[in-house]
Amino acid sequence: MTFEDKIRKIAFKEKFTKIDLLIDDLLLLDDNGIKIYYAPFDQINKDAKIILVGITPGWTQMQKSYETTISMLNNNHNWASALAEVKKKASFAGPMRLNLVKMLNESA
């Protein structure tokens, strides 16, 4: 079963909690209590002018990515368009965006 199939089984909520999303179906790795869960950030912008490497989505981004994905799928959008919308709405969502902008401005 793909992650798309697993996500399509999750009922939409306005706000997901960790209990809703930190589930075995979405678990990628459990290594001595360190757990890594799938978040739907698979879309790649091949026209990007800058690439940021090594930034992992945190809870805020994961939560927003699932809210966006499930909402899009429930409104009859396909998987690819849902992932593209996740990139727009969930990438660097919350305080991460402000911190990233601050770091990039300081290095300029």
**pLDDT digits 0-9 by tens, 19-56:** 999 999 999 999 999 999 999 988 887 888 877 776 67
Interatomic CA distance for residues 6 and 37, integer angstroms:
13
Query: Considering its fold, how many domains does the chain have in total?
Result: 1
97 alpha-carbon distance from chain centroid: 14
Nearest C-alpha neighbor of 59 from the set 101, 13, 7, 18:
18
9-21, pLDDT tens digit by residue?
999 998 999 999 9
> What pTM did the predictor assign?
0.81
Give the domain extent around 102.
Answer: 3-107
With contact defined as beta carbons under 8 Å apart, do 67 and 14 qualify? yes
Interatomic CA distance for residues 35 and 5, integer angstroms:
21
32-59 burial, b at 16+ Cβ within 10 Å, e below that, comes to: eeeeebbbbbebeeeeeeeeeeeeebee
